[in-house]
Amino acid sequence: MVTLAESIPRKSDAFLKGIDIFYIQFNDVNFYIEDEDQENFYYEILKKLFPKVKLNKIFPLRGKDNVIEKASKHIGDKKKIFLVDKDFDDLLGKIKTQSNLFYLQQYSIENYLLNENSLKEYIIEEKPKTKLKTIARDFNFNSCIQSAADLFYDLTLLHLLVQSKGLKVKNTSTAPEKYLQFGSTISIKAAGLEQYKMEIQLELEKVDKRLKVDSQLKKLKAKFKFNCGLDLFSHIPGKYLIKFFKCKVEHLFNLASRDIDSFIFRLAKTSNFDNLGFLKATVNLYIK
């Protein structure tokens, strides 16, 4: 039986790769990104970073491989900019060096939505009578960064292990609720994490029966010495951090629980994205 989702017409990869030709007169520069569900807030970000660039449409290509493939065909074209998430590519030595291909410096674009000012703006929008001194007293952004780094440390290393070994185990695409309990406190679900480790162990044994999860994790910890919370923060999947901070501010200030996509978009609307200054500078240098 065909489901409702399956019955809805879906744009083909070929269509997505070729639609930009229809927008030549509407964009000064075409920006290509990975995911369709990121299109709206990427648009908000790029309009703020490049206010003088005429921009009416962003082009999602449904995956990093598609972005890199198209970028390789348009090297030297100053009107085409290709943006990709860093993911774990820097740690795994998978960064592609190409003049028209721009990597984020944190795991994903969602990581850049999390800054102190935009979160404060969100709290005030939800509760306009909240005083700034109350927010400063109850919400310590740097402390939350460290808490998130501590909380996600083991899980992030497990994801990195899966990808470094090329194991056939679902990893960073898994919803954070599988591994974390979100509520008045946020904590790791021990059973969920152990189940994940068992799945990894089974796949490791297919590669080499001598490989053990714990010993492999020790090697990763020795190789990638994350020096502080902020260092690890840039390697944690953004969707996990978004969920963490959303839960934090909702609990601290007794806010209504909003849809996660609405939360993301509103952060994008209120942020000035100073943390993406490196991207603004390198893209401007390329297109000038």
* pLDDT tens per residue across span 234-273: 899 999 999 999 999 999 999 999 999 999 989 998 898 9
Residues 125, 254, single domain; the answer is yes
Among 54-58, 125-129, 204-208, 221-225, the range scoring the smallest mean pLDDT is 221-225
Residue among 151, 150, 145, 81 nearest 116 (CA): 145
Residues 74, 27, single domain; the answer is yes
Residues 99, 184, single domain; the answer is no
Residues 264, 145, single domain; the answer is yes
Q: Report the chain's mean pLDDT, rounded to a whole number.
A: 90
Residues 64, 153, single domain; the answer is no
* pLDDT tens per residue across span 54-83: 999 999 999 999 999 999 999 999 999 999
Task: Return the pLDDT at 196.
Answer: 97
DSSP states of the chain: ---HHHHS----HHHHHHGGGGGTTT-SSEEEES-GGGHHHHHHHHHHH-TTS-----EE-SSHHHHHHHHHTSTT-TTEEEEE--TTTTTTT-----TTEEE-SSSSGGGGG--HHHHHHHHHHHSTT--HHHHHHH--HHHHHHHHHHHHHHHHHHHHHHHHHT-SS--TTS-GGGTEE-SSS-EE-HHHHHHHHHHHHHHHHHH-TT--HHHHHHHHHHHS---SHHHHHTTS-HHHHHHHHHHHHHHHTT-----HHHHHHHHHHH---GGGHHHHHHHHHHH-
Residues 146 and 206: their CA atoms lie apart, in Å, by 36
Q: Are the C-beta atoms of residues 188 and 157 closer than 8 Å to each other?
A: no
Residues 135, 63, single domain; the answer is no
For residue 6, what pLDDT band results from cuts at 50, 70 and 90? very low
Q: What's the number of domains the chain is made of?
A: 2
Residues 13 and 237: their CA atoms lie apart, in Å, by 25
Task: Return the pLDDT at 38.
Answer: 84
Among 66-70, 132-136, 223-227, the range scoring the smallest mean pLDDT is 223-227
Task: Return the pLDDT at 228.
Answer: 63
Task: Return the pLDDT at 37.
Answer: 83
Residues 124, 232, single domain; the answer is yes
Task: Return the pLDDT at 281.
Answer: 97
Task: Return the pLDDT at 233.
Answer: 86
Q: Does 133 score more than 90 pLDDT?
A: yes
Q: Does 230 score more than 70 pLDDT?
A: no
Checking 5-13 for CB contacts under 8 A at 24+ apart, the result is 13/61, 13/62, 13/66
Task: Return the pLDDT at 99.
Answer: 95
Residues 172, 156, single domain; the answer is yes
Q: Does 46 score more than 90 pLDDT?
A: yes
Q: Does 3 score more than 60 pLDDT?
A: no
Task: Return the pLDDT at 260.
Answer: 92
Tokens (6 digits) for 228: 């502080």
Residues 121, 253, single domain; the answer is yes
Residues 264, 280, single domain; the answer is no
For residue 224, what pLDDT band results from cuts at 50, 70 and 90? confident
For residue 41, what pLDDT band results from cuts at 50, 70 and 90? confident
Task: Return the pLDDT at 225.
Answer: 81
* pLDDT tens per residue across span 157-200: 999 999 999 999 999 999 999 999 998 899 999 999 999 999 99
Residues 121, 259, single domain; the answer is yes
Residues 47, 103, single domain; the answer is yes
| Residue 45: domain span | 4-111+276-287
Task: Return the pLDDT at 97.
Answer: 94
